[in-house]
A and B are shown apart, each in its own frame.
Chain A
């Protein structure tokens, strides 16, 4: 035994001497968009001679891994990707380098970015800290084949006195959810896991009912008729129209219910759209389409916006090389290549590109989705707000609190956080 262990330690020593050349190190998450970047990186290295290391970790653990790196005066990462709800926190703590001077010096054009994207993962209070990387705005995915079915259409007409079609308003969609729930089939599948799955999903319900998180002065507007109605509908959707257990579903469980053909609709991140057409994951290939979450009226959307941005941390060991990489990866040419591979763009010129449109006919819907989407409350304490919201929504779904009580509790803590951040006077 000891002999074997000694042998092991000798082996270990051989591995310890690690190389020290300074490549561009980036911490990322294992999403499709990361894969597309990974596939293109050799081109960059060939052009510039700069090595790029993409370190991939679990999304949920990324923040944990990043924080010590960012707090430290010198870190290991040249560039990072930032989820929209870390933006306020990272900016407040001063963890990101302003990019404006670099953008100006190199004439990097940021005007093609969709304005909502720049607001979300670009600028903070007028300073550019990030370049929008990919979007994950949420959309309504629904079964086209069920809408087209003649019997469904006739039954729906008799029951509700209106046509069964792609829903134009939130109320129309709610009727469809009720209609399709029968015989072990579900009108909607939800992701009730706290904190971010439930908080993100419920946000769509809030926006679709015409609600918002706060008014212009950052006074919370959740315990309002729109908010309470949104939470009542959400609770019903889980408990009456959804499968048993959706109160604990993350997006993977919920997606699987939809992909196995057991539900009519699922509000989710738009990059799941491609997964429905993957025959190794989905039994409903070609039968699911995506649209903006419908709002109170046909011209208003209810989608929650979401995106990741590229940033250079203050602790970056080689910010210049990192910028060279960012410039390259966000150039029109490379963003188009990423989109063609299946990526979720943030630039209008990519959305309008003929080659991209030819390959993905649903991109106009995605563009509309982005243009009509709403932003979450983005400030220094967004992660805490998500945490509080997740807890209280989950309590409401579990029936331990009434919707109004739960939202009142969120408002109390939201007010405190907004005051602490100086947003609310």
Chain B
């Protein structure tokens, strides 16, 4: 905060606060108008026996929907799978993404070309990505297995094997979304000041030491926010699953968002689906608060 010492401090603080609210108000207004009603409606629905076949709020059921959701072994299974998937994609995409972002930050030549290439998957919709990769990964007629066969590898059952399918989905998601991390991390890297590096070089620090002692600490907030946002998106992954596996084979890729989607729009049980969503929200929010505190405690 901008602190101005002396007697004017209180008045200046007040004016600072007022300016802050003035800056936030337009956004908050828009959000109140369009998102508050849906969110409250979801909370309200979760407490009722509300199905689309009989869409009314006549039966208040309290926490029954929550109990039903938590007692549903399939829901718990899908939550567990989602956790594995989210950790997998977020961790791998971060590692690859950070490495690429660091390299991109070093180069000047061809930089726009590298950048344009990595933007391409981001501009493709998950539905298209799913359909195209289904073609590539066709076990008998796909180009991937054909290329593997030329170096003597047996056809891989990419999406039909319960052990492999989740990794296939993770790989496709990485191809599609890793650039999201790169764009944000690169922006973070390029807004870092130059002076600390120059000082460190004078002191004889090598590149690795610079990375550990300067880059990482200064990038901390950007990293946490990037991870957090990517995590929220990863939890919501459903289109890719929908196109590629429909949760199969068996229940090997039945992620929680797809499960909630089916509860709401196939079973038409919006009450229970809302309860599941709120359970999900609570879990992510808890994690966010933890990350947020962690971020604050360091600064």
Interface residues of chain A, those whose CB is within 8 Å of chain B, are: 58, 60, 63-64, 67, 71, 89, 92-93, 192-195, 243-250, 253, 256-257, 260, 262, 380, 383-384, 387, 390-391, 394-395, 397-398, 400
Q: Which of B249-283 contact A (CB under 8 A)?
A: 249-252, 262, 265-268
Contacts of A262 in B (CB 8 A): 140-141
Are A394 and B55 CB-contacts (below 8 A) given A67-B268, A245-B140, A262-B140? no
If A195-B246, A243-B140, A256-B138 touch, does A248 touch B159 (CB 8 Å cutoff)?
yes
Check A248–B165 contact: CB distance below 8 A: yes
How far is B157's CA from A397's CA once the two chains are assembled, in angstroms?
14
Contacts of B55 in A (CB 8 A): 71
Q: How far, in Å, is B266 (CB) from chain A's closest CB?
A: 5
Inter-chain contacts of B139 with A (CB < 8 A): 243-245
B242 CB contacts on chain A under 8 angstroms: 60
B245 touches A248 (CB 8 A): yes
Q: Interface on chain A toward B: helix, strand, loop, or mixed SS?
A: helix
CB-based contact B248/A67 at 8 Å: no
10 contacts between A and B (CB under 8 A): A58-B127, A67-B52, A71-B52, A89-B53, A192-B160, A193-B245, A245-B139, A250-B134, A384-B266, A391-B248
Q: CA A384 – CA B269 in complex, angstroms?
A: 11
Q: Does B188 contact A (CB under 8 A)?
A: no
B155 within 8 A of A: yes
Chain B's closest residue to A58 (CB) is B127
B215 on the A face (CB < 8 A):
no
Interchain CB contact under 8 A, B140 and A64: no
Interface presence of B162 (CB below 8 A) = yes
A260 → chain B, closest Cβ, in Å? Answer: 6
A250 to chain B: which residues have CB within 8 Å?
134
* CB <8 Å contact, B53 and A257: no
A244-B160 contact given A253-B134, A395-B251, CB 8 Å threshold: yes
Q: Which of A58, A67, A193, A383 has the most CB of B within 10 A?
A: A193
- Given known A-B contacts A383-B266, A384-B267, A247 and B141 have beta carbons under 8 A apart: no
Q: A92-B53, A93-B52, A192-B160 are in contact. Are A248 and B248 (CB under 8 A)?
A: yes
Instruction: Point out the residues of chain B lying under 8 angstroms from A400, CB to CB.
Output: 162, 250
State whether the Cβ of B158 lies closer than 8 Å to any Cβ in chain A. Answer: yes
Per the bound structure, the CA–CA distance linking A247 and B139 in Å amounts to 11
Q: Is the CB of B52 within 8 A of A193?
A: no
Give the shortest distance, in Å, between A381 (CB) and chain B (any CB).
8
A243 vs B159: C-alpha distance when bound (angstroms): 13
Whether a CB of chain A sits under 8 angstroms from the CB of B126 is: no
Residues in B whose Cβ lies below 8 Å from that of A247: 157, 160-161, 248-249
Question: Which chain B residues lie closer than 8 Å to A193 at the CB level?
Answer: 245-246, 248
A-B contacts besides A246-B160, A394-B248, A398-B249, 9 pairs, CB < 8 Å:
A89-B53, A243-B139, A244-B139, A244-B140, A245-B138, A248-B160, A391-B251, A394-B249, A398-B250
B247 CB-CB contact with A under 8 Å: yes
- Contact B141–A194 (Cβ < 8 Å): no
| Residue among A58, A247, A249 having the largest count of chain B Cβ atoms under 10 Å | A247
A376 to chain B, nearest CB (A): 15
Give Cα distance in the complex from A89 to B267, angstroms.
10
What does the 1/0 interface line of B151-172 toward A look like (CB < 8 Å)? 0000101111110010000000
B161: chain A residues at CB < 8 Å are 247
CA distance A63 to B8 in the complex (A): 63
In the bound assembly, the distance between CA atoms of A244 and B245 in angstroms comes to: 15
Report A-chain residues with C-beta under 8 Å of the C-beta of B159: 245, 248
Contact B141 A256 (CB under 8 A): yes
A273 to B144, CA, bound (A): 29
A89 touches B268 (CB 8 A): yes
Contact A398 B162 (CB under 8 A): yes
* Most interface-central of B155, B159, B249 (chain A CB within 10 A): B249
Per-residue contact bits, chain B 186-208, to A (CB 8 Å; 1 contact, 0 not): 00000000000000000000000
| Nearest CB in chain B: distance from A165 CB, A | 28
- A23-B250 Cα distance, complex, nearest whole Å: 45
Min CB–CB distance B42 → chain A (angstroms): 14
Residue of A nearest to B168 (CB): A248
> With A244-B139, A244-B157 known to touch, is A63 a contact of B265 (CB < 8 Å)?
yes
- How far is A395 from B54 in the complex, measured between Cα atoms in Å? 32
Task: Check if A194 sits within 8 Å of B265, measured CB to CB.
Answer: no
Alpha-carbon distance between A16 and B163 when the two chains are bound, in angstroms: 49
CA distance A383 to B52 in the complex (A): 14
Compute how far the CA of A63 lies from the CA of B262 in the bound complex, rounded to whole angstroms: 11
The answer to whether residues A64 and B248 also contact, given A245-B140, A245-B160, A380-B53 and a CB cut-off of 8 A, is no
Query: Would A257 and B246 count as touching, CB distance under 8 A?
Result: no
Contacts of B247 in A (CB 8 A): 194, 391
Within B44-61, which residues are at the interface with A (CB < 8 Å)?
52-55
With A248-B159, A391-B251, A400-B162: A194-B53 Cβ-Cβ less than 8 Å: no
Q: How far is the CB of B108 from chain A (nearest CB, A)?
A: 21
A397 touches B249 (CB 8 A): yes
Which 4 pairs show the lowest CB-CB distances between chains A and B? Answer: A245-B139, A248-B160, A248-B159, A247-B160
Bound: A139/B241 CA distance, A: 29
- B265 and A67 contact, CB distance less than 8 A: yes
Give the distance in Å from the alpha carbon of A249 to the alpha carbon of B268 in the complex: 27
- A244–B155 contact, CB under 8 A? yes
Alpha-carbon distance between A71 and B53 when the two chains are bound, in angstroms: 8
Query: How far, in angstroms, from A383 to B265 measured CA to CA in the complex?
Result: 10
Smallest Cβ-Cβ distance to A384: which chain B residue: B267
- CB neighbours (8 Å) of A63 from chain B are 265-266
Once A193-B248, A195-B246, A248-B245 are accepted as A-B contacts, the answer to whether A93 and B141 lie under 8 Å apart by CB is no
B162 to chain A: which residues have CB within 8 Å? 398, 400
